Amino acid sequence: MNEVVRRKIYSAILIVGVFVFWEVVCRVFGISSLVLPKPSEIYTTFMQYAPAIAPHAYQTLYTTLVGFAFGVAIGLSLGVLIGSSRLAFDTAYPLLVGISSIPKVAVVPIFVLWFGAGTVPAILTAMIICIFPIVVNVATGIATVEPELEDVMKSMKASKMDILWNVGLPRAMPYFFASLKVAITLSFVGSVIAETVASNRGIGNMMMIASSSFNVPLVFAGLAILSFLGVALYVFFSLIERRVTGWALRKST
Amino acid sequence: MPGRPLVELDRVSLTYGRGKSATPALAETDLKVADGDFVALVGPSGCGKSTILKLVSELMAPTSGRILFAGRELGANPVRVGMAFQASTLLPWKTIRDNVMLPLKIVEPFRAEYRAKRKGEFRERADALLEHVGLIDFADKHPFELSGGMQQRANLCRALVHEPDLLLLDEPFGALDQFTREELWLTLQDLWLERRSTVLLVTHDLREAAFLANRVVVMSPRPGRILEDRAIPFPRTRSLDITFEAEFTQIVQALRALIVRTPTGGKA
């Protein structure tokens, strides 16, 4: 327990240290805030613009979460389908890899063409960017059930559905939650990209406008917000993960 | 004790793969297992011992020949089997009690009643078994909190909880140390004496075969054939003391001679 507390303190010191170092470097070398603003400057800018930033942050959070939710639903069902059938795996996997290797920035214009600029392209980008890691993880978890365990189940005359429900799905849960943590951060990337390209709201859009008017501290304030939201959601899913799949984490506790 | 044959293999062959890569695993094997008998299958690796278990449990179908259960062909009537492997295959996310109750959730006719009885009768049934093997204090623990030997005890409970007609054990104690293994021999013997379910045990350990079984069936290297079918005369309940008797040692040596003498084929 002592060890855990000590590690947390180290980690906090490192984070504070990075900001102190940044501040000191900016001051010592007199770096212009047009290039790299000081953390203190970012903070005051943030406080100053907070009321204006809030709706943007809300918009980004909204598009990210909606896109993420759709992504999880689609990713989970595809993962279950692909993981439980060899045929589906072999058939669909090449297509999935192909789709996932398309840079997501490149599809934003297409979404804009179809749905117009604004909320919908951001949601869709957040969605497609997070599907792939979920599919791969869930499929892996289900497909790698130990053959002996499958034999035990089959010897009980268990149906495919029984095996999936009692063994495959619970077994895939740690993989699923691990992928959620990756997926939620990817979703943020997706919605911010879309907002940057084609939207008049959201943190991405705010940063675009701020940078075109050389308000660099505000750009950094936007980054800070994104990082804060990302960390908050990561922590949220880690907590759920620990509750649901504590049995798989036994080695680290 | 031996009644009518419960399981009967009638000129059963099994070949893995097809064409040039075909590997015959079992060749024209006849085997009868009486109701309530305890039969051990021994032989060199790859001789088709485990294949027999897979055939009997309908995980695989024979290439030729017939397998009869209580006089009727497999598939005609549902056979209730319990299986246990060397790896305990307990579900790590379930407690020991829930693991033991798993077959009741899957196997008919228990399955239909599972929702209603899982907190009452079925739970008591699982607990009674766990009590019997000395695990009742661990019923609410998860598998990873138990030692290998305890996990195998729980595994035996899971294989028995649905009162199978046939208990199939594939090297269940192979990964355990000598002392734990011998302890589990006694546990298994107790369970068998109490329930008299028919047991087919595959093992590499000849002492284990001779100690536990009524009959030891020795198989040849691939493709497997039955070389010898030997009755083990020691009365029940057997204690570990018999393993030090001259007669026991003779039997083990005779079995060993049969297996070592036969040239071992190229093992994959």
- Order of strands, sheet of B166-170, starting from the edge strand that comes earlier in the sequence: B81-85, B166-170, B198-202, B38-42, B215-219, B226-231
Instruction: Label residue B209 by pLDDT band (50, 70, 90).
Output: very high
At residue A242, φ and ψ (nearest 5 deg) are -65, -35
B196 found inside a domain: no
ipTM confidence score = 0.82
Scanning B137-176 for CB atoms below 8 A from A yields 142, 144, 162, 168
CB atoms within 10 A of CB A137: 24
Q: Using omega within 30 degrees of 0 as the cis cutoff, is the peptide bond preceding B109 cis?
A: yes
Burial of B13-52, coded b for 16+ CB within 10 Å and e otherwise, reads bbeeeeeeeeebbbbbbebbbbbbbbbbbbbbebbbbbbb
A80 pLDDT more than 70: yes
- DSSP conformation class of B74: B
Interface size between A and B, measured as CB pairs under 8 A: 55
B92 found inside a domain: yes
Number of independent structural domains in chain B = 1
B107 found inside a domain: yes
A252 pLDDT more than 80: no
Residue pair A82/A135 in contact by the 8 Å Cβ criterion: yes
The more confident residue out of B19 and B55 is: B55
B137 found inside a domain: yes
Q: Report pLDDT digits (tens) over A122-131.
A: 999 999 999 9
Whether residues A156 and B78 touch (CB distance < 8 A) is answered with no
Q: Report pLDDT digits (tens) over B120-175.
A: 888 898 999 899 888 999 999 999 889 988 999 999 999 989 888 899 999 999 88
- Minimum mean pLDDT among A60-69, A156-165, B35-44, B107-116: which range? B107-116
Q: Report pLDDT digits (tens) over B39-87.
A: 999 988 877 888 888 888 888 888 888 888 888 887 777 788 899 988 8
For residue B73, what is the enclosing H or E element? strand B72-73
pLDDT score, position A155:
86
B58 found inside a domain: no
Q: Report pLDDT digits (tens) over A175-226.
A: 998 899 889 989 988 999 999 888 788 898 999 999 899 989 999 999 999 9
- In terms of Cα–Cα distance, which of A123, A109, A87 is closest to A201? A123
pLDDT score, position A1:
61
Domain that holds residue B121: 87-164
| Those residues with Cβ within 8 angstroms of residue A233's Cβ, 6 or more apart along the chain or in another chain | A184, A185, A188
Instruction: Label residue B267 by pLDDT band (50, 70, 90).
Output: very low
| pLDDT mean across residues, chain A | 88
Instruction: State which amino acid sits at residue B76.
Output: A
B117 found inside a domain: yes
pLDDT score, position B266:
43
Instruction: Label residue A249 by pLDDT band (50, 70, 90).
Output: low
Burial of A35 (0-12, 13-18, 19+ CB in 10 A): exposed
Residue B108 at interface with chain A, using a CB cutoff of 8 Å:
yes
B123 found inside a domain: yes
| pLDDT mean across residues, chain B | 86
Instruction: Label residue B13 by pLDDT band (50, 70, 90).
Output: confident
B151 found inside a domain: yes
Whether residues B106 and A248 touch (CB distance < 8 A) is answered with no
Mean pLDDT along residues B2-10 = 78
Mutation site for B-interface testing, chosen from A151, A155, A163 by largest number of B Cβ within 10 Å = A155
pLDDT score, position A74:
95
Per-residue CA distances from A217 to A87, A189, B95 (Å): 53, 20, 54
Mean pLDDT along residues B12-41 = 86
Residue pair B239/B232 in contact by the 8 Å Cβ criterion: no
Q: In chain A, what residues touch B85 (CB-CB under 8 Å)?
A: 148, 151-152
- Sign for the CA dihedral angle at B166, B170, B174, B178 comes to positive
